[in-house]
Amino acid sequence: MKKTLLYYFLFSLFAGTLIYFLQYFSIPLPRIIRFYVNDFLIIPIVLYSCLRVLKWSKNDKNYRLSLPIILYVCLLYSVLFEYVFPKYLARYTKDFIDVIVYFASGLVFFYLQKETIN
């Protein structure tokens, strides 16, 4: 039984948390890590969590998130974090590359989900 999706989720969770702590303690990181890695990691974290809840609630161990649902989540993150939040909250900035990163990580999740049997 493959556990690739689980390992990807755990790696994403660990790496994202580590990056946040390093930034919190002002440890210098390369720009690509500071600005894009956590954006790449958040979509699989959210989707995996949703998938586990849906598998449990539907009592279906073979349940999979469809590509339209995954793309919808990526679109929501893109609109909220790259359009809405930057208008009202100074912490957020518009960055079109983030949109590409959200969708890329969604596609990676979709591929790994197809290849994984949980």
What pLDDT does 91 receive?
86
pLDDT at 116 over 90: no
Which of these, 85, 111, 97, 108, lies nearest to 39 by C-alpha position? Answer: 97
Domain count, the chain: 1
Cα–Cα distance measured from residue 27 to residue 43, given in angstroms and rounded to the nearest whole number: 25
Once rounded to an integer, what is the mean pLDDT over residues 59-86? 95
The chain-wide mean pLDDT, for the chain, equals: 92
Least confident of 14-23, 87-96, 108-117: 108-117
Task: For residue 73, give its domain range.
Answer: 4-115
